[in-house]
Amino acid sequence: MNLKVNMLTLLFLSLCTQAIGQEDSTSFEQFVGDWHGEGRFYNVNLASEVGMVRFTLRVTRDFEITGSIGNAEIIDAEIEVDDWNKGYSVRGNIEGQIFPNNEFHKKRITLLLKEVEDDVSIGDFHLANNFIFDFSMRPGELTIRKDP
């Protein structure tokens, strides 16, 4: 009897965890479209060296995401709910040189975005060489606006 109760409890908790953990794609709908914006690095020395950085983002109805940061392309990007930051996370790869005539180069980008309000989303960006841990990660703040 006790074994059956334990098994049923375990099964119930497993099903609840799966249901709670599923992402609702309708919350991603707010990001569908073309976006542009700019950001600045938190590191004062880097910010003064390279200045503001331009961003573009395109999110299709199928949630295919492309864009750019500076002169580099954002490819293979995906969006997901980011419970840790109470918003959304877009992760992708960077192809190309972000700043012309500058040795600065990163391979990965993470955008941490808040809910869209009046066609604007604010957040942070992280430029790194991997998605796990990178001592040389370069974070900054960003604001993107939906194109009309």
Residue owning tokens 């073309």: 34
Amino acid, res. 76: D
Instruction: For residue 57, list its beta bridge partners.
Output: 35, 67
CA distance 108 to 138: 11
- The set of residues, in sequence order, having a beta carbon less than 8 Å from that of 116 and lying 6+ positions away, is 30, 31, 146
Output the average pLDDT for the chain.
86
Q: What is the mean pLDDT of residues 64-87?
A: 94
Q: Is the pLDDT of residue 20 over 80?
A: no
Burial of 20 per CB tally in 10 Å (0-12, 13-18, 19+): exposed
CA distance 2 to 4: 5
Q: Is the pLDDT of residue 9 over 80?
A: no
Query: Which of 26-35, 56-65, 132-141 is the most confident on average?
Result: 56-65
Per 3-state DSSP, the chain is made up of helix, strand and coil in percentages (nearest 5) of 25, 45, 30
Tell me the pLDDT tens digit for each residue of 116-138: 999 999 999 999 988 777 788 99
**pTM of model > 0.85:** no
pLDDT of residue 45: 93
Task: Count CA atoms within 13 Å of residue 114 on its CB side.
Answer: 12
* Domains of the chain with CATH codes: 26-146 (2.40.160)
CA distance 85 to 65: 20
